[in-house]
Structure 1
Amino acid sequence: MSLLSPAMQDALAGWLSAQKALNNAADNTITAYQTDLLGFLSFMTRHFGEETGIAPLTGVGLSDMRAFMAHERERGVSARSLARSISAIKSFYRWLAEREGFDATTVLSTRAPKFTNKLPRPLAIDAAKAMIETVELQAREDWIAARDAAVLTLLYGCGLRISEALGLTFADVPLPEVLRIFGKGGKERLVPVIAPARNAVGRYCKLMPFANEPETPLFRGVRGGALSARSIQKVMEQTRMQLGLPATATPHALRHSFATHLLGAGGDLRAIQELLGHATLSTTQAYTAVDTARLLEVYENSHPKA
């Protein structure tokens, strides 16, 4: 932050603290906000040719914002990432204007670039089952095979994020019929745990060779430390190659598959939103588009042509 005035450093730190305290933002979100704002402030320092303080920022006009956006696109920043940055910048300006008493209308009225949301790419039901069954064949030790199968069963059977599954501890076992999960931003939700998931975790616990305490991670690496998300991603890469599945068959795709298959079976959209821990229904509604796309594909492939 050497190019920022002390007052600007304090302002940025104050805004980040407010996001953490008032909005319960996750650490990764705070880091992303900080990166976005530092990029913006760094550009404005070069743009104005002076140390970035609060006074220069109060005079940022539409042409300055356009110059920043053009610079970001020229260096390869995607429309989605730029839209996120603009959102963070607006939030910061809204907070700063209220604190410093200036008019931030110009910055707040800046239009972020439009982008198309990428629809989830779920696996077919048989492919999801084959992934879980085949992942065990990649391991040389029985406890590792049971571990990998248990993690994937939690992703597909309960709709957990990979971070949520790997965040479980031995205090959570034996898994109850309803599991309390703390997701993004510490948001709490209750997730039903199907019998196959409870059985898979139980089998893994019986085979796992390391000592455990309630606070220790449930899923362990080969040396006994916490299992990394990369390890699961890697074994899924090997498995999908063996099964001939596309590169979109990732751990997160199993979570998408959980939601899509529930919806296809007549699941209620609001209930699925709660199970996934989505903050808004609009996020969950992406799955209706996926299901519709799948139905259209079936129609195109199977409907008799005149």
Structure 2
Amino acid sequence: MNKIKGLLRLVRFELPFSAGICVLMGQILVLGKFAPVPETVFGFLSVFFISASILVLNDYFDVETDKLNAPHRPIPSNAVTPSEALLLSIILMLFGLILSFLISVIALLISIILFIIGFLYNRNYKKSGLPGNLMVSFSVGMTFIYGGVSVGSSFNNIVWLFGLIAALIDLGEEIAADAMDMQGDLLISSNSLAIKYGKPVALRISSYIFFFVILLTSVPFILRWLPAIYLVPITIMDVSIAYPSLRLLKSGNNKNAGRKYIRWIYLGATLGLLVFILMRLLEA
């Protein structure tokens, strides 16, 4: 039982679950309703397994660091051996790829790309700073686009827009979070923007990204992709991003305040997206 519990702890279910939910959101953005059961199940589980595989790899590659910083984790606590963790990651990856193939060849290619990016990030780019941030944010954005692909719509304007918005919000949050974690990152020789150029510069870059997102949300109305009623959720999103972004710039060395404003941005953007999707469902 201890072995099974250790293996399950490696997966960290809440994170793969969130990735799967992003896929379902992408499906709803395309269809305006929930996808048929096979597309829903295959879409959710394929990304769930790929994400879980990458998270297990994270522990596999971080074993030496975790011996110092997180000795309670399954591998350094000897609940799971590194070879068992690697085997679990491979099995999860294979499940994800098989389910992706059952959706379409394009879905399979995206899953392969996501896995390769996750593997490279864990192995080589976790401490690289901006390149690592970009890899994570790209993967987040692709979950929405994968949702569109899983229901046969590879180039839906709204899905690509929200995929880009999700990627940019995640990028801004990654850069800002690095600025809050400078002390810890110095200990592991991270090359984050905050360490290279200073915390104020990193927070300014993060805020510029957030305000670019706000500008980006006007695109579907300028190009008439959406009716004016959708200004309601978009306005909720924009206000929820703008205010904490300004506060984040003024947070200075107050790490707790900075983390609070980063969380506000995440929650506000999520709320706006959920209202948008609810309206899409009601419209159908």
Using the size of structure 1 for normalisation, the TM-score is 0.27
Using the size of structure 2 for normalisation, the TM-score is 0.28
Larger radius of gyration: 1
